[in-house]
Structure 1
Amino acid sequence: MRSQQLVQALGTSARTAEAFSDTATLRHMLAFEAALAQAAAAAGLVPERAAQIIAAACDPALYDPPSLVAAARRSATLTVPVVKALTAEVEKRDAAAAGYVHWGATSQDVIDTAMVLQLGEALPPLFTELDGIIGALAELARRHRMTPMLGRTLMQPATPLAFGQKVAGWAADLDRASARLEASFRETQVVQFGGASGSLSALGDKAEGVMAGLAERLGLKLPPAPWFTQRVRVAALAQDAALVVGALAKAARDIALMMQFEVGEASEPAGPERGGSSTMPHKRNPVGAALVLAAAARAPMLAATIVAALPQEHERALGGWQAEWPTLAALIETLGSAVEAMAEVAPGLAVDAEAMLANMEATHGAILAERATFLLAETMGKQQAAKLVEQALAKGGSFVQALGRLKAELGDEAALLGYSPTFVDRLLASLRR
């Protein structure tokens, strides 16, 4: 089968991609079929021996993914060729048992449940990594609670703030987004089992028992009803995954800007062949930030595709549902790439406090204009104070020297940072961990 590992090298992480690999996909689809046979046997609908034979045939190694792909395009669902192949494998072992394969289920039952199981494989490790990133950022913020740096608005010098406030803001927003994703993930962890159109009428009074047994065997919860065309669970998870990528990208963008040579306030961790250039040996590129920002360029559109698929027809969608699975896989792999990249950057981010101070001093006191205006306004009114400050700025030279009588007050560290250290404390206190 065609492989895209080279093309996808910058768009996924190996571990996350594995959850959506052909082997994993078949494993989860066949796990559904095995659990269904066992649950149906427990309910007295399928002979126990038939269930055992079906379960034994649910080994992904027995099946050929390329042939399944070709057949899937002819039926617009992967379930049809998988069930046919499984039935043929069971028939080799016991012809009678083959008649009980896929008992009472429909194609979407298999696909949706496999998708849910793949999310259960892919996302928990990412949550652990996100916890580590948030923890690393929180520790960095604590260390730099009182480290002054140049605040920047519209990419221009503004007033000073503590570097710790910037980092604590990254951590708090990421924690908020991660909490949302964890909650939406939990909501997805339900089995899909509705039969032909969602009534399970083929199973009669055994339906509830089979559905409950199926969910229990797969480690999933039992929903109130099948959710064939009620896709808010999936869309909410997609949106929240994109939010996490966006929160990571906010930090990545700031780090990349702080790494610019002429700024030099921070740098990603060094490592063998990490951040090098193919033509310029002197360069140390923000490679982690680049991977996160690449993910941020993709994630919103992938999430939007899943949201756009929400208006699905009646009890089985035509096109919208079929668009979800590959899009969701791409989105979670994109999330995995961003998380993996930032998990390397956050704990090893190097900070140059001297460069931060030098960049503030390079403004020749202009960053103190706001504070000077308010201090002068206490004795002469704001309009006159603003005019005086503007005149001082126009004269050039050191702004602090031009307003020499305010130098002591302007240079006071507590006054310089304002509530910034307090905001660091509040942001860190808001974290769940």
Structure 2
Amino acid sequence: MSFSPLDSRLMGDLFTTEAMRAIYADGSLVSCMLEVEIALARAQARLGLVPDQLAPAVAAIRAEELDMTALARGTAKAGVPAIPFVKMVQSRLPVELEPFFHFGTTTQDILDTAFVLQARRALALVADDLRAIAGSLADLATRHRSTPCVGRTASQQAVPVTFGYKAAGWGVAAVEHLALLKELERRVLVVSLGGPVGTLGAFGDQGEELVSEFARELELGATAIAWHTQRGRIAELGSWLCILLGVLSKLATDVIALGATEVAEVAEPHEAGRGGSSAMPHKRNPISSILIMAAHSAATPHLAVLIGSMASLHERPVGAWHAEWHALPTLFGLCSGALREARGLSAGLQVFPHRMLRNLELTGGLLFSDAAAAVLSETLGRSRAHASVEELTADVLAGKASLRELLVHRYPTQADQLAEAFDLGRTTYASSLQTDQAVAYIRTLL
């Protein structure tokens, strides 16, 4: 068992994706650090701070050529991977260029900017998956805009809705969270460049211009001041990821409940051997939903780490920064696996309208009690109408007759109006309208 699902040979494929693991692999971090140093050298050369030959010399060094074992040993001694990395790259540069490499910066600048590059790539994967999920849910809602099903509150049958309305709710939550990403990226995808205490002291009056040039090289944003110990943007990123898992878990929770044997209104896409039991051959456990909910539960402590890391001491962090290295990659890893499962779930969910109709009939028409009371209130008044319908509920639950039969027997002159109240299509009409509106909204944001 490894320390994290990101690098577990046994469980890695269960909780994460290969693409996300590749972004947070050791080689990827080293490549990102090289990319940062190259961009810095180019920006500094344009301002006359380092020789023009430095950036090409650094660019000629390949990440795969660096000794990862030596870097690991050096990291264990130095406490950060950037220190042995800088020494290793310097040793490969011409003697005349070596003094200018990493000029005026600090290890946190290089690592934080490298982490931002990783986050940018990771967010692109996340956005692709979330966009596909929202689109699939919009399609699902459209297909079932008029498919009646039970609406449930406090786990009890309430009034009829349509399944399209439920799917549209999932889709709106997904697309609205996706819409927040643009502003999040503006806040998070920024360079870190400040030097030892964040003041850009080595660059004199060229510091601000250098930050802008550095950011332009990497196609990232710039900040007004160093953020070495201002970690709100990283906490925001972790929060967005955790809320994403919450959005997906809402979908998963509903699918599990709707797929229970006694309900059986939906089922996860099935493939041979998936969701089976070692003891019960008939089982088809909702594995995708289970994995999504597991990721949601596992994520919360990692967000707490990022929030805790905001209490960062003076101008350079002590321990808190290092703790982020555990939390953020794991959150991205958990999100990648949950998104993969949700993508398959939203595109391939099996829906059983006949079971939905059967469940609508379980309570003998009690789901229409609100509509029936509204009809009767026109002649009885609201309070008397509500009391009359409530009074008959016990007889319906006892199986004596349906609510409609009992009401028509008691109020025969209003039989026609009551027939409209118990009309399923009429009752779910508002759900269909809401579904259409929600789907149009989803399409607008995609």
Interval of TM-score (by shorter of Structure 1 and Structure 2): over 0.9
Aligned to 1:82: 85
1:344 Cα offset (Å) = 0.9
SS in 2 for 1:224: coil
Runs of 4+, deviation exceeding 6 Å? none
Q: Is the 1:148–1:163 Cα contact (8 Å) retained in structure 2?
A: yes
Q: Is the 1:72–1:78 Cα contact (8 Å) retained in structure 2?
A: yes
Q: Is the 2:186–2:221 Cα contact (8 Å) retained in structure 1?
A: no
1:102 Cα offset (Å) = 1.1
Aligned to 1:427: 438
Q: CA 1:206 to 1:55, structure 2 compared with 1: closer, same or farther past 3 Å? A: farther
State how 1:110-259 maps to structure 2 within 5 Å.
Answer: 110-259=110-259
Q: Could you tell me how far apart the structure 1 residues matched to 2:195 and 2:53 are?
A: 23
1:196 Cα offset (Å) = 1.1
Q: Could you tell me how far apart the structure 2 residues matched to 1:242 and 1:318 are?
A: 25
Aligned to 1:65: 68
1:130 Cα offset (Å) = 1.1
Number of residue pairs matched?
428
Q: CA 1:209 to 1:390, structure 2 compared with 1: closer, same or farther past 3 Å? A: closer
The one-letter amino acid of 2:350's match is A
Higher deviation after alignment, 413-422 or 311-320: 413-422
Within the candidate set 20, 27, 32, 2:36 is matched to 32
Q: Is the 2:305–2:327 Cα contact (8 Å) retained in structure 1?
A: yes
SS in 2 for 1:430: helix
Q: Is the 2:23–2:122 Cα contact (8 Å) retained in structure 1?
A: yes
1:411 paired to 2:415: no
Q: Could you tell me how far apart the structure 2 residues matched to 1:51 and 1:285 are?
A: 55
1:312 paired to 2:307: no
SS in 2 for 1:428: helix
Q: Is the 1:181–1:241 Cα contact (8 Å) retained in structure 2?
A: no
1:37 Cα offset (Å) = 2.3
SS in 2 for 1:99: helix
1:334 Cα offset (Å) = 1.3
1:300 paired to 2:300: yes
Higher deviation after alignment, 154-163 or 423-432: 423-432
1:414 Cα offset (Å) = 3.9
Q: Is the 2:365–2:422 Cα contact (8 Å) retained in structure 1?
A: no
Higher deviation after alignment, 33-42 or 351-360: 33-42
Q: Structure 2: any 5+ residue segments left out of the alignment? A: none
Higher deviation after alignment, 355-364 or 265-274: 265-274
SS in 1 for 2:222: coil
1:209 Cα offset (Å) = 4.2
Output one character per residue of 1:81-101: Cα deviation in whole Å (capped at 9) or x when no partner: 2112222233xxx22322222
Q: Could you tell me how far apart the structure 1 residues matched to 2:90 and 2:319 are?
A: 27
1:183 Cα offset (Å) = 2.0
Q: Is the 1:149–1:160 Cα contact (8 Å) retained in structure 2?
A: yes
Aligned to 1:282: 282
Q: Could you tell me how far apart the structure 2 residues matched to 1:372 and 1:66 are?
A: 75
1:360 Cα offset (Å) = 0.9
1:41 paired to 2:52: no
Q: Could you tell me how far apart the structure 2 residues matched to 1:142 and 1:51 are?
A: 54
SS in 1 for 2:151: strand
Higher deviation after alignment, 77-86 or 338-347: 77-86
SS in 1 for 2:271: coil
1:55 paired to 2:59: yes
Q: Is the 2:161–2:431 Cα contact (8 Å) retained in structure 1?
A: yes
The one-letter amino acid of 2:67's match is D
1:378 Cα offset (Å) = 2.3
SS in 2 for 1:149: strand
Q: Is the 2:266–2:349 Cα contact (8 Å) retained in structure 1?
A: yes
The one-letter amino acid of 1:87's match is Q
Higher deviation after alignment, 62-71 or 331-340: 62-71
SS in 2 for 1:151: strand
1:353 Cα offset (Å) = 0.6
Higher deviation after alignment, 346-355 or 221-230: 221-230
Q: Is the 1:164–1:421 Cα contact (8 Å) retained in structure 2?
A: yes
Q: Is the 1:168–1:427 Cα contact (8 Å) retained in structure 2?
A: yes
Q: Could you tell me how far apart the structure 2 residues matched to 1:290 and 1:139 are?
A: 23
1:106 Cα offset (Å) = 0.2
Aligned to 2:17: 13
SS in 2 for 1:96: coil
1:107 Cα offset (Å) = 0.8
The one-letter amino acid of 1:373's match is A
1:372 Cα offset (Å) = 2.3
Output one character per residue of 1:13-42: Cα deviation in whole Å (capped at 9) or x when no partner: 111121111111110011112222232233
1:132 Cα offset (Å) = 1.2
Q: Could you tell me how far apart the structure 2 residues matched to 1:71 and 1:342 are?
A: 40
Q: Is the 1:43–1:210 Cα contact (8 Å) retained in structure 2?
A: yes
Identical residues among aligned pairs (%): 35
Q: Could you tell me how far apart the structure 2 residues matched to 1:172 and 1:210 are?
A: 42
Aligned to 1:263: 263
1:265 Cα offset (Å) = 0.5
Higher deviation after alignment, 317-326 or 411-420: 411-420
Q: Is the 1:54–1:97 Cα contact (8 Å) retained in structure 2?
A: no
Q: Could you tell me how far apart the structure 2 residues matched to 1:84 and 1:252 are?
A: 48
- Root-mean-square deviation (CA, aligned residues, Å) is 2.0
Output one character per residue of 1:38-70: Cα deviation in whole Å (capped at 9) or x when no partner: 32233222223344323322x211223343334
1:326 Cα offset (Å) = 2.5
TM-score (norm 2): 0.90
Q: Could you tell me how far apart the structure 2 residues matched to 1:342 and 1:186 are?
A: 26
Q: Is the 2:34–2:58 Cα contact (8 Å) retained in structure 1?
A: no
Output one character per residue of 1:247-305: Cα deviation in whole Å (capped at 9) or x when no partner: 11111110111111111101112224333333322222211111211111122332232
Q: Could you tell me how far apart the structure 1 residues matched to 2:256 and 2:69 are?
A: 42
